[in-house]
Structure formats: structure tokens, C-alpha cells
Structure 1
Amino acid sequence: MAAPIVPDTEHGGTVARLSPLTRDLAQLARLDRPIGAWLLFWPGAWATALAGRAVARWDLILWFALGAIAMRGAGCVYNDIVDRDLDARVARTRERPLASGRVSLKTAWAFLMGLSLIGLVVLLQLPGLAQGIALVSLGLVAAYPFMKRITWWPQAWLGLVFSWAALVGWPAATGHTAPALWWLYAGSVLWVIGYDTIYALQDVEDDALAGVKSSARALGSHAKGGVALLYAGAVLLWGCALWRVRPDPLALAALLPVAAHLGWQVLGLHPDAPADALRRFRANRFAGLLMFLACLAVGSASH
């Protein structure tokens, strides 16, 4: 018997008590699934903490949180606009508001503009260098929905996009970049590819029927080993970042909790169980917190 597909929209809790249009807009921006906003937020918080500015610039971390909610929502709306026909052919996504026809294309574009305006407000709180770096990401964001039609590794493109806040966070907090930042960003890219490969395991069969490419399909039976290598690479690169800030073995020890957590994800992963894949994907919210604590400890001890 095939494992049940976990729908891409939630209908319980607070979302269920909203009016129909408000509920559809919340689902369009994935406000019912906040894990994406968390994952977009963490790299910016890491960079701020590793730069030793988490306490002094707590306000910046809050701005990153608001920006992550708004821009993740805007990205989801844009993705659904581009993918509405493909989404209608995949069991997990066919009930999305646009794919199902509950929200019109005109309404979706208007909502996208509103979320983008919130993102603009956040952008204006940043210094000039950070603003420039943030704006460069818009091209990557715009191209992402098309990557699943072009490459077997759209997750790699997502890694570039979802890690971008790290490149913004450090100069936003300090006014300049630093070598540690690039190691932090590179590690985050591998982390994103790893967790989004886990996420894509939910759709392997439907993606094959729809002609959608993914790292999960590319890796096939080697998906679990592939995720393990990606996570190991992420921890190694993060170790380089922490070492550049504080060349001390104790700095590397700060990574042990997040490394153990990522190991738990891989060791217990069942590629043929969509519900399990979703649970382990969502666990990366906690992995992000553990990495933040590591950056906070090392950054605070070095400044």
C-alpha cells in the first residue's frame, strides 16, 4: 500500500477560523506552514550572532524575522503563480489556492505586491552595503520556480536563495564582510540542499509523472546517503566559519549539538514515507536554532 501523501495546506487551528478568502491568502503565503519562514530567517540570525552583534543588534534580528515572513510569503505566492498548472497535477499541491482555482491570478498578484512592500520596509532599515547585497538576490528568487524544469538540482538554486540572508546579516550588523561569512554561507547552501531533498522525497512519484526534476529523483535510491554527505559538508564548512572567528577547538565543539541533530535526521530517514520526510524536514527549524546558539557562543566569546 502506498504511503499517504501529506497535503500542502493546513485546514486546522487558527487558519480554519479565518474567512474563506483570508484563509486562502494565508495558505497562498504558507502562513499555515511557518517552517519556511524559520528556514529563511536562520542564516541571517547566524551571521549576526557570529559577527558578535546578536545582543547589540537584537533589533536587526527582529527585522530579519519580519522580512523572512514577508519575503517567504511573497516567494511562495510567486512560485504558485508560475507553477499553478504543475501544482494541479501533483497530489500534495493540487489543493493550493491558485491550483484549485479558489484564488484568482489577479488577487494573487495584488497579494504579492503587498507582501513585497513589507519586504521593502525591512530593506530600508539596512545600511547601504547590506541593501545592495539583498537586492542582488531578487534575480535568483525570480528564476527559482523555473529551475525544476531546467535542472535536476533545483534544490541547489534554492540553497543559494534561502541562504542569502547570511550574506546580508553580517554587513548589516558590522558594515563590512569577512572571510567567515563565505564559509557560513557555503555551509548553509549545503544544508538547504539537504533538507529540501528530504522535502522532495514526498513528491518523487508525482514529480516523475509531471516531468518535474528534483534532487530526490536524481539521487534515487541513494537519497539518504546524498543527504548525509550534504549535511556532513555543511557541518565542515560551518566549522571553517567558526574557526575563522575563533581558532579554538572549543569553537568547533559548539557545533556538536547541530551535527548530532542532523545525524538523527539522516539515520532515521525513511525515503518511502512522506509523513516521515515531512517531519524530519520540519525538524530543521530546531537545527537552525542549534546553529544559532553555536554562532552566538563563538561570536560572543570573540568580541
Structure 2
Amino acid sequence: MSPSSDTWIVTASCPSRLGTVDVVTRFMAESANYINEIHSFDDRVLNQFFLRIEFTPEDEHFSPEQFNQHFAARAEPFEMTWQLYPANKKDRVAILVSKFDHCLNDLLFRYRTGQLNIEVPVIISNHPDLESLAKWHDIPYYHLPITPETKREQEEQILQLVEQYQVDLVVLARYMQVLSPEMCAALDGRAINIHHSLLPGFKGARPYHQAWEKGVKMVGATAHYVNNDLDEGPIITQGIQPVDHAHYPEDLVSKGQDIERITLFNAVRYHVERRVFLSGNRTVVFSN
């Protein structure tokens, strides 16, 4: 029998306990599942253990239902929770954007070229500016303008589109609106935001110009899960580059946008590849 070409991912977490890796890897060997990649981490502060395994079944009759059924008996003594995913599953990602197009352009390029294993069924914006870019990619574009008076209605429309398009993940690709507590709760654990890493300094408009006036020596970006603490959700990825006196405001903007692009791409990639685990208000990220 030839090995199956399908690849699967199992993610697991449980209280820290002796023998956790052994029970999982032993089960994988006994059930003829070849481990291609394995990561684990023991959080000594929270007494919690995290594990991610990518594997290829060597049994051509591999069944995810049987895997879960048989693994349950091994996992129960460890109080382990786990999930099994086909590695080729394409998460459906809704992109929210305002007027800046650099992050949207990058995500769409990586989606189109297969660097991101996702589908993009919808793009939503509070401005009409980027509709032509969505049309070029043949992706539905919804212009939902917002005012303080219409914020609740506009967010309800977004959530309706998220449901309509069966969205797995929402990406705020420089969506310049603060989400309401209700919106944050509705998207808990499935919304990623990107912003410059100059915060908590240089808030508001033209942050890179503010930073230049103060003579900063580093610029960067942070991608994090959205929660009700503005720009303070669990961090997934960060990027940084040094700058000096020879960099003018426009240079800082350019460098900052480059870092935002790659930082957001990595955050989305890690999420859809099931490499991110929440551990309190922190994340465990098994990068590759």
C-alpha cells in the first residue's frame, strides 16, 4: 500500500503532566501516522502544555472519525483537549480595510500566488477607494460607510456578511475604525489587527511624522488578536527595523508599511496553519 498524500494537523493542550509527548507520539506510531513536524511548549506559569503535530497517514484507509475516537482514550487521562484539521483546508478570510492599500495588496498577492492557503470571499470597507482592486481579483466589495450615529448598524452589517460568506477569520488590514465591545466579542479569537509598533506613543494621525519629530531609532509593526482593549490584544507577530537621523518622515512611512505587510502576512499564516495557541493574554506561536 502506498502512503496517503494527505497531510493532517493535530493541536492539543492539557495541564502540564509527565508523559504527554510520549502518549501522543506513541499513538501516532501505533496508528501508522508519520510525523512530519512537531512542536511543544510547557507554560510553567499557567501549568499548561501545548502541542502541534503535522503528520501524514501511512494507512490509505485513514479516517479522521476513527482517529478522534481512538485518540480520545489516550487523551482522557491527561485532561487533553485537541482538534484535528486537514492541512489543505482553506480558511475563508474576510478582509476589512479603509484607504491604505499596502496590507490588502500584499494579502491578495499572497492569496493569488498560493503563499497563503486561504480563500478571500469578501472585502469590506468604510470607503469606496479600493473597490477597483477587489474587482480586479473578482472579489465582492462592500462599501459600508460609518458615522458615530450609524456605527452599530454598520457593524451589524459586517457581522451579517461574515455569516453570509461563512467566514472563518476576519483580518483588519489597516481598517481605521475602533470596533465596539459587542463587535470584539462576536469576533473573539477570529479577528487579527495590524498597527505600527510605536504605540502607546504617537497615537492618532500621522504617527510616523510624530515619531520623526522625536528622533526615534526604530520602527515596527504588531499583529494581534482583536479584543476590547484597544490595540492590546494577544500578540501574534511583531517586526522591527532600525532607522536613524537620515530617515525623513516619508522614509519612516515606507519602512513601516513594509514591516506591516510582512508582519500581518505571518500572523495570518500562523493562524490558518494552526500554529497559534492562546495562553491567558499571551500567545504560544509555533513558527516554522
* Structure 1 length-normalised TM: 0.23
Structure whose residues are more often helix by fraction: 1
More relative contact order, 1 or 2 (CA 8 Å, 6+ apart): 1
Q: Work out which of the two has the higher radius of gyration on C-alpha atoms and give 1 or 2.
A: 2
* TM norm structure 2: 0.24
